[in-house]
Structure formats: structure tokens, C-alpha cells
């Protein structure tokens, strides 16, 4: 599985900014995506995050193309031959 990240100014779920983590299978197809939102530090100074799962993969592909996100090809994922 391959993971690529892209910065989003507005999450499709909650409207906050965050980092979109896109998960690809070995064939280079998007399996799912989540947006990670930083919420601050806890008592022990560890960063805390909230996550939104993006369900609509077609809408996600359209969003990624509008951001000039390069969807990896099978050969870029290490599948030679």
C-alpha cells in the first residue's frame, strides 16, 4: 500500500483545513482517504489529531486533479513488468 499526502484548505466533511492522506492499493487505485486535523498538544506535549474519512472517491479524484495532485502509476508504486 502506498500513501500520498496533500494539504487541503477546506475539508469536504467539516470545512477545516488539514492534511489529506490518500491510500493506494498495489494496482495504483485509490482505496480510501482521510483528512487529518491538528487539534493541539495534550498534557504530555504530544500532538493530537481528529480525522475525517472521505467516502466519495470520485469526488476525491476530482478534488485531487484540481490541486494538480499526481496520482501515482503502477510503475511508480514499484510494480515493474
**Residue ranges in 1-81 assigned as alpha helix (H):** 57-66
The C-alpha cell that represents 39 in the structure block: 487539534
pLDDT, tens only, 15-43:
999 999 999 888 888 899 999 999 999 99
d(CA 35, CA 26): 21
pLDDT, tens only, 62-77:
888 888 887 766 555 5
Task: Determine the pLDDT at residue 63.
Answer: 83
Task: Determine the pLDDT at residue 78.
Answer: 55
Question: What's the pTM?
Answer: 0.76
Amino acid at each position: 500500500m502506498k500513501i500520498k499526502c496533500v494539504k487541503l484548505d477546506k475539508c469536504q466533511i467539516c470545512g477545516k483545513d488539514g492534511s489529506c492522506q490518500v491510500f493506494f492499493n498495489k494496482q495504483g487505485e485509490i482505496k480510501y482517504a482521510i483528512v487529518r486535523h491538528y487539534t493541539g498538544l495534550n498534557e504530555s506535549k504530544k500532538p493530537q489529531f481528529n480525522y475525517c474519512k472521505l467516502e466519495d472517491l470520485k469526488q476525491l479524484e476530482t478534488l485531487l486533479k484540481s490541486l494538480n495532485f499526481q496520482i501515482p502509476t503502477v510503475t511508480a508504486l514499484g510494480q515493474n513488468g
